[in-house]
Amino acid sequence: MFVRTASERDLGAIRTLLVETWHATYDPIYGEERVTEITDEWHSIEALRPRLSRPNSEFLIADDGKRIGGVAFAEAIDGGRSIVLRQLYVLPPLQGRGIGGMLLDEVIESFPEASAIRLEVEERNARAIAFYTANGFVPSGETGEHSGTGAPTLIYSRNLAG
């Protein structure tokens, strides 16, 4: 797999990856019907397209030339001093192979002025929490409520300044 910037031609495959990954991850938490509603709204081609040209952001995919194995989307805030990782997903059969780490590394490298990165993760998504913890993220001590699901989320952050 190699990481590259997403393009218009990738949007259908990105949507497919997000739908599959969300069902595998969140059906046991929210139920299949609610996950379908969320993915139809949040991961439609129309919802994904603006990310291709959003200022101060990176929309990345992991691609092996045959399929897209992962996707990440992040934005710089605070004048570029902080990164918010909005999304990082890897196809379920490809998880645990380093793809998520490759995407995370590329996100961080894309924002060289940033001194911190933060994200929200669903508190019942133990696999994601383990991934982020293994990659240097720590709980910030705050909880939030994820818009659209009503479920509590945990805020994790990682300092980048060396």
Q: What is the pLDDT of residues 48-84, one digit of tens each?
A: 999 999 999 999 999 999 999 999 999 999 999 999 9
Mean pLDDT of the chain: 92
128 found inside a domain: no
Identify the CATH number of the domain in which residue 23 sits.
3.40.630.30
Q: How many domains does the chain have?
A: 1
CB 18 within 8 A of CB 89: yes
68 found inside a domain: yes
Dihedral of the CA atoms 144, 134, 99, 119 (nearest 10)? 20
pLDDT for res 148:
62
pLDDT for res 161:
74
